[in-house]
């Protein structure tokens, strides 16, 4: 029996995903402006109920942090509504529970954001940033699962057979993007500015020196205008790891796009989406370089965060869509016979 489709629920889920992306951008602006601690109390704002904090006092770093808190409250409310909505109209039990997980995740996310301020732990900021990305993937996946094409037991990629090894490659590259986003969050939440101020070289070399004397010199030479933390060897190593992982992601996505074009041609939706994904990654590499060349300009850095989120969501959605139609290539039964496709699809069985 085909599940009933709820187009308004799908639209609402897409809207929540867009709002979440906007919230991630605002969070990016908070860290880009070094304003995470500009409001030292939580859940109040300088002693006010946060919804009644006077607009005249939204100055400097407070503007970014306070706006982030208000929009986060809105996204939290939207998430609670979608949880109830899914619970009421959905017949798929796993879908209902995914809605509940979304509600729990958004509440945990709010508490993490507050604890980061109160406990003054930058590490919590990294967890907060990573959970934000995973939450965006979850809401986007809910939107995909409620879409008409998914409900009709198809896939947005169309009716093609995707070999399982290809699905595994999509999974590996998406996993690399998650790793890359965690590395990015670790860099951002050190609040040390640019641990390496040049690109494509690193302190004029292929691989920068990281001994104590060199690190001390990097700090002395930096003429920072803002309250940056000192550069550390760990920070330099992190940025190098971020650069290397970026290269691996670019190679992986380029390989998948090329493979999709070669196998299915340009007209196939999977090929188009894979090429679009490659476009995002190329844009992301350019924004990464621009982040360094503009000395971490807040707008560019935030755009880098936003395109990073979009790259992850695209990878995750492609992975789910491919998994939906994946097949295992069965070797030929006898000599002279053609190899065929195994018709059991674990993705379909799991998410039917």
Partner 1 sequence: MRTQNTCLTVAVLVGSLSALSAAEISGKVKLNGTPPPEASMKMTDPVCSKERGAETISSRHYVVGADKGLANVLVYIKEGAAPKPATGEAALLDQTKCEYQPYVMGLQAGQKLKIRNSDPTLHNVNAQPKINKGFNIGQPVKGMVAEKTFDKPEVFVRFKCDVHPWMFAYVGVLDHPYFAVTDKDGSFKISGVPAGKYTLEMIHPKCGAKTMEVTLADSDIKTLDVTLDVPAAK
For the segment 291-330, give every residue that binds partner 1 (CB under 8 A): none
Q: What is the distance between the alpha carbons of residues 102 and 113, in angstroms, rounded to a whole number?
A: 16
37 binds partner 1 (CB under 8 A): yes
User: With 0-12 CB in 10 A as exposed, 13-18 as middle and 19+ as buried, what is 349?
Assistant: exposed
Asked if residue 217 has a cis previous peptide bond (ω within 30° of 0), the answer is no
226 binds partner 1 (CB under 8 A): yes
Distance of CA 225 to the CA centre of its chain: 30
Backbone phi, psi, residue 295, to 5°: 55, 45
| Residue whose C-alpha is closest to residue 171's, from 70, 277, 318, 299 | 318
Strand partners, 163: 327
Q: Which of 7, 11, 60, 342 binds partner 1 (CB under 8 A)?
A: 60
- Angle of helix 122-145 relative to helix 60-89, nearest 10 degrees? 40
- Side by side, the strands of the sheet bearing 340-342 are 162-163, 326-330, 340-342
Q: What is the distance between the alpha carbons of residues 124 and 42, in angstroms, rounded to a whole number?
A: 15
201 binds partner 1 (CB under 8 A): no
Q: Which helix (H) or strand (E) holds 301?
A: helix 298-324
217 binds partner 1 (CB under 8 A): yes
34 binds partner 1 (CB under 8 A): yes
Asked if residue 349 has a cis previous peptide bond (ω within 30° of 0), the answer is no
- For residue 125, the minimal CB distance to partner 1 (Å) is 13
- For residue 243, the minimal CB distance to partner 1 (Å) is 22
CB of 36 or CB of 288, closer to partner 1: 36
42 binds partner 1 (CB under 8 A): no
CB of 39 or CB of 318, closer to partner 1: 39
346 binds partner 1 (CB under 8 A): no
- For residue 39, the minimal CB distance to partner 1 (Å) is 7
Of 32-40, 124-132, 304-312, 336-344: span binding partner 1 (CB under 8 A): 32-40
Q: Which of 8, 11, 40, 165 binds partner 1 (CB under 8 A)?
A: 40
Q: Residue 325 in contact with residue 160, Cβ under 8 Å?
A: yes
Backbone phi, psi, residue 341, to 5°: -105, 135
| Residue whose C-alpha is closest to residue 270's, from 318, 338, 336, 218 | 318
The interface mask with partner 1, positions 106-135, x = CB under 8 A, is -----------x--x---------------
Q: What is the distance between the alpha carbons of residues 305 and 225, in angstroms, rounded to a whole number?
A: 23
Of 94-102, 147-155, 222-230, 310-318: span binding partner 1 (CB under 8 A): 222-230
Of 82-90, 149-157, 215-223, 286-294: span binding partner 1 (CB under 8 A): 215-223
CB of 57 or CB of 172, closer to partner 1: 57
| Residue whose C-alpha is closest to residue 129's, from 232, 22, 27 | 27
Q: Residue 269 in contact with residue 156, Cβ under 8 Å?
A: yes
Of 61-69, 139-147, 282-290, 305-313: span binding partner 1 (CB under 8 A): 61-69
Q: Which of 17, 29, 38, 126 binds partner 1 (CB under 8 A)?
A: 38
Q: Which of 22, 61, 158, 279 binds partner 1 (CB under 8 A)?
A: 61
- For residue 21, the minimal CB distance to partner 1 (Å) is 25
For the chain, what's the residue count? Answer: 352
CB of 156 or CB of 208, closer to partner 1: 208
Contact set with partner 1 (CB under 8 A): 33-41, 46-47, 57, 59-63, 65, 117, 120, 216-217, 220-221, 223-227, 229
């Amino acid at each position: 029996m085909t599940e009933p489709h709820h187009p308004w629920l799908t639209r609402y889920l897409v809207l929540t995903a867009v709002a979440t992306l906007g919230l991630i951008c605002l969070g990016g602006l908070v860290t880009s402006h070094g304003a995470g601690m500009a409001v030292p109390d939580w859940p109040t704002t300088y002693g006010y109920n946060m919804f009644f904090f006077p607009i005249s006092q939204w100055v400097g770093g407070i503007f970014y942090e306070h706006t982030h808190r208000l929009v986060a409250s809105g996204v939290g409310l939207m998430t609670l509504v979608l949880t109830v909505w899914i619970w009421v109209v959905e017949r798929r039990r796993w879908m209902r529970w995914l809605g509940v997980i979304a509600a729990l995740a958004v509440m945990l996310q709010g508490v993490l954001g507050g604890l980061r301020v109160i406990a003054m732990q930058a590490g919590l900021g990294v967890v907060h940033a990573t959970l934000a990305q995973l939450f965006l993937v979850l809401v986007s996946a809910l939107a995909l699962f409620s879409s008409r094409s998914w409900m009709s037991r198809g896939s947005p990629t169309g009716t093609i057979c995707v070999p399982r090894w290809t699905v595994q490659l999509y999974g590996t590259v998406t996993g690399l993007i998650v790793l890359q986003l965690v590395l990015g969050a670790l860099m951002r939440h050190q609040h040390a500015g640019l641990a390496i101020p040049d690109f494509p070289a690193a302190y004029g070399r292929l691989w920068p020196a990281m001994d104590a004397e060199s690190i001390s010199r990097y700090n002395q030479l930096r003429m920072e205008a803002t309250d940056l933390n000192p550069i550390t060897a760990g920070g330099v190593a992190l940025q190098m790891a971020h650069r290397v992982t970026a290269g691996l992601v670019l190679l992986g996505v380029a390989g998948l796009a090329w493979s999709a074009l070669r196998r299915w041609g340009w007209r196939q939706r999977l090929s188009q989406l894979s090429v679009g994904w490659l476009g995002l990654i190329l844009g992301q590499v350019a924004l990464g370089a621009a982040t360094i060349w503009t000395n971490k300009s807040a707008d560019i850095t935030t755009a880098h965060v936003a395109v990073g989120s979009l790259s992850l969501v695209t990878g995750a959605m492609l992975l789910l869509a491919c998994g939906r139609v994946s097949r295992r290539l069965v070797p030929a039964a006898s000599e002279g016979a053609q190899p065929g496709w195994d018709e059991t699809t674990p993705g379909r069985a799991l998410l039917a």
